[in-house]
Structure 1
Amino acid sequence: MSETISPLHDPAGLSPADARRNALYLTLHQVPEGKVVSYGQLAELAGLGRAARYVGRTLSQLPDGTTLPWHRVLGAGGRISLPLGTVSGDEQRARLRAEGITVRNNRVDMQRHGWRPIEHSG
């Protein structure tokens, strides 16, 4: 018998806050190289509704050296939220460019580089 598990209930005993964070991390981990998502899209894909601010806040608290592709998450319309000239902002732009993503006027073309998981799931 199979049971549907919501991201807010985990049989492993995680708190609701930990389950939300895990759902976010699992979804972010799936964003492929060369593709980007918005904060709002990531929240929706992770089953968190319209929680774009939660996504931004949670990603800002990732530990140094994380392997999660945080740099692939952008503001609405492909806008890079991290300021130019900051360590994290410059790192994000460099990582995106290294993956072949073009950054122009502090934006990424979401039509060209946006992740649409339905199209990629085969």
Structure 2
Amino acid sequence: MTENEVSKEDKIYTVMANIPLGCVASYGQVAAMAGLPSNARLVGRLLKLMPKDSSIPWHRVINSQGKISFAPGSLQYINQFQLLQSEGVVFKNGKVNMRIYRWE
């Protein structure tokens, strides 16, 4: 990994760490807020690589349609769904209303 990639990683993790309780952000939104537009896939890749004991609220990152990206019914999906619900995020038909819960 080059220094530039480490810098991108740090920027993305910093944005994710600042998503407030009860709010969500899309992969693309996180990338844009990190100054890295068009890097939504990098956000997803970094989420996969995140250590299990990380304090970064990874569960607050969902797709732009307001859906959890894990397969519905999978353990990862249920975990993320429950974490978001515990913060007051409401799902309707498997989706979060991004107009209400999107971090601004």
Shorter-chain TM-score: which interval?
over 0.9
- Report deviation, 1:96: 0.2
What TM-score does the superposition give when structure 1 sets the normalisation length?
A: 0.80
Does 1:107 find its partner at 2:95?
yes
> Residue in 1 aligned with 2:61?
73
CA distance in 1, matches of 2:20, 2:83: 13
CA distance in 2, matches of 1:42, 1:82: 18
Does 1:90 find its partner at 2:78?
yes
Root-mean-square deviation (CA, aligned residues, Å) is 1.2
The amino acid across from 1:67 in the alignment is S
Q: What is the number of residues matched between the two proteins? A: 103
What TM-score does the superposition give when structure 2 sets the normalisation length?
A: 0.93
Does 1:27 find its partner at 2:15?
yes
The amino acid across from 2:91 in the alignment is V
Q: Deviations over 1:34-91 (max 9, x none)?
A: 0000000100001111111111111111111211111101111212111122221111
- Report deviation, 1:15: 0.9
> Residue in 2 aligned with 1:4?
none
Name which one, 1 or 2, has greater alpha-carbon Rg: 1
Gaps of 5+ in 1: 1-13, 117-122
Q: Percent identity?
A: 35
The amino acid across from 2:19 in the alignment is V
Q: Deviations over 1:7-55 (max 9, x none)?
A: xxxxxxx811111000001111111000000000100001111111111
CA distance in 1, matches of 2:75, 2:53: 14
